[in-house]
A and B are shown apart, each in its own frame.
Chain A
Amino acid sequence: MAATAQDPSAPLRAEKKDEDRDEDMEYSPFYGIEKGAVLQEARIFNDPHIDPRRCQQVITKLLYLLCQGETFTKKEASEVFFSVTKLYQSKDANLRRMVYLVIKDVCPGSDEVIIITSSLMKDMNSKTDLYRSNAIRVLCSIIDSQLLGQIERYLKQAVVDKSAVVASAVLVSAMHLLGSNSEIVRRWTNEIQEAIQSKHAMVQFHAVALLHALRANDRLAVSKLVSSLTRGAVRSPLAQCLLVRYVAQVIAESAATGGIEARPFYSFLESCLRHKAEMVIFEAARAVCAMRDVSTRELAPAVTVLQLFLSSSKPVLRFAAVRTLNKVAMTHPLAVTNCNIDMESLISDQNRSIATLAITTLLKTGSESSVERLLKQIGSFMSDIADEFKIVVVEAIRALCLKFPQKYRALMNFLSNVLREDGGFEYKRAIVDSILILIREIPDAKESGLSHLCEFIEDCEFTYLSTQILHLLGREGPRTKEPARYIRYIYNRIILENATVRAAAVASLARFGALVAELRPRILVLLSRALYDNDDEVRDRATLYLAELGGKAGGVEAVDVQWDLPARNLEKSLRSYLENGGEGPFSLAAVPRALPPAPKKEQKKAQSAFGAALKPEVAANGDLGAVVQSMPQFKGLGPLFKSSEPAKLTEEETEYSIAVVKHVFARHLLLQFNCTNTVEEQVLEDVSVTVDLAQAEEFEEEAVVPLERMPHGAVGHTFTLLRRPEGSMALGKLVNILRFKVKEIDPSTGETEEEGYEDEYTLEDLNVAPGDYIRAAPVPNFRAAWEALGEEAELGDDYGLGERENLQEAVEAVVGILGMAPCDGTDAVPPNARSHTVLLAGTLIGDAQALVRLSFGIDAARSVAMKLVVRSDSPDVSQAIHQIIQDA
């Protein structure tokens, strides 16, 4: 044995060279082991004279097989199980222990369990603690609830057993049983409570965990448990960790934030930071750092103990601390700056996970002046970490660059340097993505970013990245100061790369040709060289673009088609066109422009990406307003102010499905009814909607545009135009009646009957609400906009909103009524918050900007109060907003 024993501090690699020599020496008791043979061997279990040692070995072999991933068939398993039960006759304790173990692993069906339960139950009452504990664990893992009822009283008694091993065994087993048999475990509450007072640390831990699990759904009970435990002495560090977790939960559910009123139990967490067990200190520090709206003052003691951990000799402690501080740095970078010196020494930590976390923390907390120095340190470190860590670093660099846009030059250089180094696809993609984002977000960085990318594609092995970059060059390149410099890079791709990249390069070149007139002749020459490419796609593209650039096939504009149709709708329309036989030319005008699900998100994205350059009208109303704008009748109405979301006016599964969109113009309200016929056997002609204005007196009907025939399974439009005084916010309820002529279709011949009859159908009423005259117009910086508007037209008032389920519901209701855009993500209320402020921005009809600050509060009886402060261009507008809330 001594000959093969290795020096424990010798490196692993040294062992390789004398592997050959070792192989002769190495003897494994499981060498050449086979399932069949072992199962044969297992027959000795049935021997009347049991040899405990040998049986133990055979059991070990069985377990070894299982451990290596071998499986036993049902028959094999039950054979093993039956013979193992025979071993109960032996009095040998070690053999008995192995029997317990193997029964748990070779768990047979419930009908077979029965033969062992009586033996196990005997052990449960044995004088020996270890027999009792093991029997309990085995029984609880194989038993069903019926049998459990029979042994319940023994288990209940075992909870308060003075032996730690027995009590722990039953408490842990009970934790597993909770899922299926919680009512039985619930009956032991008194015993469990007694076990919490146990002098054995582990028993205390298990009892606390079990008691909490029993009460997890009852907030009041949990907070009672917490207050009794925090008063009493919890000795076990593990139990103390649990307690810290419960306290953190109670804090999260309480409304108090560190500011004015103290959080409950915060002092307890603070005292845990001084606990003697590192485990508890860390758990408490973690809990403090994760508190919602944690203040810098509350963080300070936790950060201090974590800072001490940073210089620990144990990697586990360093890792735990740096990981937590890294999270804190995301929200409170200033709180972590004290640790910067310790962090910097961790950059050279042996453990690369720690080093990476340290770097990314530093990148988050670092000041603008330290960026260059940090980059230098990271540069030396990047070459010897794994790709996945590099990706983390690259992402941190990207965030830093967005934070300090002035430093883009250094950071962009860093990214381009790492881009040139070796790395896998994911890593390269992370870098390219970062550069793409920086180009988009920081206009100054565009030119240098593009040139870095150009260099990269000169030597890029990843087709996906090359095509992505070529597309970007085509989009951004022509708008730079010197578009010509990119041509060489792109043309090189046509000569050197694979077909996919060549095709992308051709498309990119064509964009230059289309957008930069002076380059066009040269581009035409270059493109004509691609006409003899050996790939179809490349040739086709070159041919098409040459024709377009030459003024044919749609002309130059056709190179750069701006699709204003949602691709999904186009696809759907094309499909239905093909299904219906494809008669007549397909018309793009028939494609619905409204995106049914989640169009808002995309618009938001578009806005943030292109900034304020985009006209709000186009962004907000592009899809819905397009139908109206394409109607010549309505050209004279002036610019469209706002279109509402479509609202259904019919029940599901009626003969016709009608939805209405309200379009607001300066002097008009245009109602667009989207009509669909849902019954195949009828034809509906001459469809129009008559609007009864009795309850909306300010309106006056001006025109009705009927629909010739309501299409089956598709959407047709009829319009009703209402006039109202210019700039007014005319309100009221519109009663809508659908009028049409029905013609039946003869089911046998499929022909439409000549004669039809007039019919009408009362649709649901439509309310014109103040929100229809307010357009959501988010402002990028609410505070600045708020200050800019000044106090001249500020108007504030308090309102009671009555009883609400929670604040989120109240917020959603008010935001819905006002129809304004929530700013800075304030529309999301933190869970269980007692107060909340929402910032809204919008434009009223007549292009008056209005900003709203809503402060909500909810009391114990769930009644909600709200303070509304409006700032706008004129006091009238502010008054109007208040009026909306008063009327609602």
Chain B
Amino acid sequence: MDVDPTVPVVKSMLLLDSEGKRIAVKYYAPEWATVTAQANYERSVFSKTSRTNARLEAEITTFSDVIVVYKFLGDLMFYVTGSQDENELILYQVLQGFYESISLLLRGAVEKKTVLENLDLVLLAMDETVDGGLILETDPSTIASRVAMRGADADVPLAEQLRNQTFSKALATAKEQIARSLLK
């Protein structure tokens, strides 16, 4: 990516589970072009951070020329990576936008199960926070309302829309499960 060097840039956003497995990741920097490089990076990030306590406050660390800010929520780990000379507080704000918007969208039930069931919302939230490495929006409620396309459907309030969505989803998954158990 070739942008003005003064513009703050996010190198990657990661959402990993409590064992370091990837749930949703987005890489914007060329240094992790291959899946292997990404996996190695995720492994080292996880091993360096998993034993720290980043529940109350977001934590920060630095290694091999990058700065990583991270926050653990439930059984999930949110990471935002920036370059060594990035303003740490800007990265921190991106991280906040990232996890708080997801928390809003999932109504506080931030755990692996719900995140996987609503992976579309998570992916959209990431897409609304950072666009190709550039910070698009950091306000959690703005991100959440954009993900929910509030305003697109003749102004259905966000909460109601979400309820509808999760309900229909639950119905769909229930159907799926029944189908699977019948096939066994």
List residues of chain A with CB under 8 Å of any chain B CB.
1, 4-6, 8-9, 11-12, 15, 26-30, 53-54, 56-57, 59-60, 63-64, 67-69, 93-94, 96-98, 101, 104, 128-131, 137, 141, 165, 168-169, 172-173, 175-176, 178-179, 202, 205-206, 209, 212-213, 216, 238, 241-242, 245-246, 249, 278-279, 282-283, 286, 313-317, 319-320, 323, 350-351, 353, 386, 388
Interchain CB contact under 8 A, A213 and B136: no
Q: B113 touching A63 by the CB < 8 A rule? A: no
B87 with A6: CB separation less than 8 A: no
Interface residues of B in 1-49 (CB under 8 A from A): 1-4, 6-8, 18, 22-25, 35, 38-39, 48
**Is there a chain A Cβ closer than 8 Å to B134's Cβ?**
yes
Assembly CA distance A93 to B165 (angstroms): 12
- The 7 A-B residue pairs with the shortest CB-CB distance, nearest first, are A93-B152, A213-B4, A69-B35, A320-B88, A93-B149, A279-B89, A60-B120
Q: Which residues of B contact A59 (CB under 8 A)?
A: 120
Contact partner of B149 (CB less than 8 A), chosen from A130, A323, A350, is A130
Q: Considering only CB atoms, which chain A residue lies closest to B75 in the complex?
A: A6
Q: Mark B103-141, 1 if CB is under 8 A from A, else 0.
A: 000000101111011011001100100011011111100
Contact (A316, B120) CB under 8 Å given A9-B55, A249-B6: no
- Tell me if B160 is interfacial: C-beta within 8 Å of chain A: no
When C-beta atoms are compared, the residue in chain B nearest to A249 turns out to be B6
With beta carbons under 8 angstroms apart, the residue of A12, A67, A242, A316 that contacts B24 is A67
- A27 nearest in chain B by CB position: B113
Residue B163 is within 8 A (CB to CB) of chain A in the complex:
no
Q: Are B152 and A130 in contact (CB under 8 A)?
A: yes
Contacts of B1 in A (CB 8 A): 176
**A53 and B134 contact, Cβ closer than 8 Å, known pairs A175-B3, A241-B87, A282-B89:** no
Contact A6 B172 (CB under 8 A): no
Nearest A-chain residue to B3, judged by Cβ: A175
CB nearest neighbor in B for A318: B60
Q: Is the CB of B8 within 8 A of A238?
A: yes
Q: How many whole Å from B44's CB to the nearest CB in chain A?
A: 11
13 A–B contacts from the bound complex (CB under 8 Å)? A56-B120, A67-B25, A69-B39, A101-B124, A137-B131, A141-B132, A172-B132, A179-B2, A238-B90, A246-B6, A249-B6, A314-B58, A320-B88
How far, in whole Å, are A168 and B111 apart by their CA atoms in the complex? 31
B144 on the A face (CB < 8 A)? no
Least CB distance from A309 to B in Å reads: 10
Q: Determine whether the beta carbon of A8 is less than 8 Å from that of B73.
A: yes
In the complex, whether B181 has a CB less than 8 A from a CB of chain A is no
Whether B120 lies near A315 (C-beta < 8 A) is: no
Interface centre among B62, B109, B123, B147 (most CB of A within 10 A): B123
The residues of A that contact B135 with a CB separation of less than 8 Å are: 205, 238
Q: Are B72 and A12 in contact (CB under 8 A)?
A: yes
A14, B77: Cα distance in complex, Å: 16
Q: What chain B residues lie within 8 Å of A351 (beta carbons)?
A: 52, 59-61
B18 cross-chain contacts in A, Cβ below 8 A: 12, 15
CB < 8 Å: which of B89, B109, B117, B177 contacts A317?
Answer: B89
Picked from B6, B74, B93, the residue with its CB within 8 Å of the CB of A212 is: B6
Smallest CB separation, A123 vs chain B (Å): 11
Contact of A6 (CB < 8 Å), options: B35, B111, B136: B111
B151 contacts partner chain A, Cβ-Cβ < 8 Å: yes
Q: Are B57 and A314 neighbours in the complex by a CB distance under 8 Å?
A: yes
Please, how many angstroms separate the alpha-carbon atoms of A209 and B113 in the complex? 39
Residues in A whose Cβ lies below 8 Å from that of B35: 69
- A242 neighbours in B (Cβ, 8 Å): 6-8
Contact A209 B89 (CB under 8 A): no
B79 within 8 A of A: no
Q: Knowing A69-B38, A282-B87 are in contact, say whether A315-B57 is a contact too (CB < 8 A).
A: yes
Cβ of A128 and Cβ of B151 under 8 Å apart? yes
* Chain B residues closer than 8 Å to A11, beta-carbon distance: 53
Chain B: minimal CB distance from A98 (Å):
6
Assembled-state Cα–Cα distance A4/B177 (Å):
18
CA distance A29 to B174 in the complex (A): 11
B57 and A241 contacting across the interface, CB-CB below 8 Å: no
- Chain A residue nearest in CB terms to B134: A172
Instruction: Note all chain A residues with C-beta closer than 8 A to B24.
Output: 67
CB-based nearest A residue for B84: A323
- Indicate whether B98 reaches chain A with its CB closer than 8 angstroms: no
A608 to chain B, nearest CB (A): 30
Main secondary structure of the interface of A (DSSP, over half): helix
Nearest-CB residue, chain A, relative to B59 = A315
Closest CB in chain A relative to B82 CB, distance in Å: 12
In the docked arrangement, what's the CA distance between A104 and B123, Å? 12
Please tell me if the beta carbons of B39 and A94 are within 8 angstroms of each other in the complex. Answer: no
Contacts of B61 in A (CB 8 A): 351, 353
Closest residue to B50 on the A side, CB-wise? A12
Cα A6 to Cα B58 in complex, Å, equals: 19
Point out the residues of chain B lying under 8 angstroms from A206, CB to CB: 134
Alpha-carbon distance between A209 and B90 when the two chains are bound, in angstroms? 15
Q: 16 extra interchain contacts, Cβ-Cβ under 8 A, other than A53-B168, A94-B148, A176-B131?
A: A4-B111, A6-B75, A15-B75, A53-B169, A54-B172, A60-B120, A63-B123, A67-B24, A97-B149, A169-B131, A172-B136, A176-B134, A279-B89, A314-B92, A316-B58, A323-B88
Which residues of B have CB within 8 Å of A283?
Answer: 87, 89
Q: Determine the chain A residues whose CB is within 8 A of the CB of B109 once the complex forms.
A: 1, 5
Question: Residue B151 contacts which of A1, A130, A245 (CB distance < 8 angstroms)?
Answer: A130
Instruction: Indicate if B69 sits at the interface (CB-CB under 8 A).
Output: yes
A168, B136: Cβ atoms under 8 Å?
yes
- Asked whether B62 lies within 8 Å of A353 as measured between CB atoms, the reply is yes
Q: From B55, which residue of chain A is reached at the shortest CB distance?
A: A9
Q: Are B8 and A168 in contact (CB under 8 A)?
A: no
A316 with B69: CB separation less than 8 A: yes
Looking at A129, A141, A175, the one whose CB has the most chain B CB atoms below 10 A away is A175
Cβ A101 vs Cβ B123 within 8 A: yes
Q: Is B153 an interface residue (CB 8 A)?
A: yes
How far is it, in angstroms, between the C-alpha of A313 and the C-alpha of B35 when the chains are bound? 37
In the complex, how many angstroms separate the beta carbon of A91 from the nearest chain B beta carbon?
Answer: 9
Residues on B with beta carbons closer than 8 Å to the beta carbon of A319: 60, 62, 88
Instruction: Write out the residue numbers on chain B whose beta carbons fall within 8 Å of the beta carbon of A317.
Output: 88-89
Residues of B within 8 A of A386 (CB): 48
Chain A residues with CB below 8 A from B134, complex form: 172, 175-176, 206, 209
CA distance A314 to B71 in the complex (A): 12
Instruction: State in angstroms the CA–CA spacing of A59 and B120 once bound together.
Output: 8
In the complex, what residues of B have CB within 8 A of residue A212's CB? Answer: 4, 6
CA distance A388 to B123 in the complex (A): 35
Q: Which residue of B lies closest to A56 (CB)?
A: B120
B contact residues around A12 at 8 Å (CB): 18, 50, 72, 75
Contact present for B136 and A202 (CB under 8 Å): yes
Tell me the bound Cα distance from A778 to B148 in angstroms: 71
B91 nearest CB neighbor, chain A only: A316
Among A6, A9, A93, A278, which residue has the most Cβ atoms of chain B within 10 A?
A93
The complex places the Cα of A279 from the Cα of B127 at a distance, in Å, of: 23
Among A15, A249, A320, A353, contact of B89 (Cβ-Cβ < 8 Å) = A320
Bound together, the chains give a CA A101 to CA B126 distance in angstroms of 11
Q: Residue of A at shortest CB range from B152?
A: A93
CA distance A8 to B74 in the complex (A): 5
The reply to whether A60 and B146 contact each other, CB–CB distance below 8 Å, is no
Roughly how many angstroms separate A277 CA and B37 CA in the complex, as a whole number? Answer: 36
Contact A128 B57 (CB under 8 A): no
Q: Are A316 and B60 in contact (CB under 8 A)?
A: yes
- Assess the B111–A5 pair: CB atoms within 8 A: yes
CB distance from A184 to the nearest CB of B (A): 16
Asked if B4 and A316 sit within 8 Å, CB to CB, the answer is no
Question: B117–A29 contact, CB under 8 A?
Answer: yes
Question: A388 contacts which chain B residues (CB < 8 A)?
Answer: 63
**Pick the contact of A93 from B22, B72, B113, B153 — CB < 8 Å?**
B153
Return chain A residues, CB-CB under 8 Å to B147.
97
Residues of B with C-beta under 8 A to A205: 135
B6-A1 in contact (CB<8A): no
CA of A104 to CA of B124 in the docked complex: distance in angstroms? Answer: 12
Q: Are B113 and A26 in contact (CB under 8 A)?
A: yes
Task: Return the chain A residue nearest B58 by Cβ.
Answer: A316
CA distance A30 to B172 in the complex (A): 14
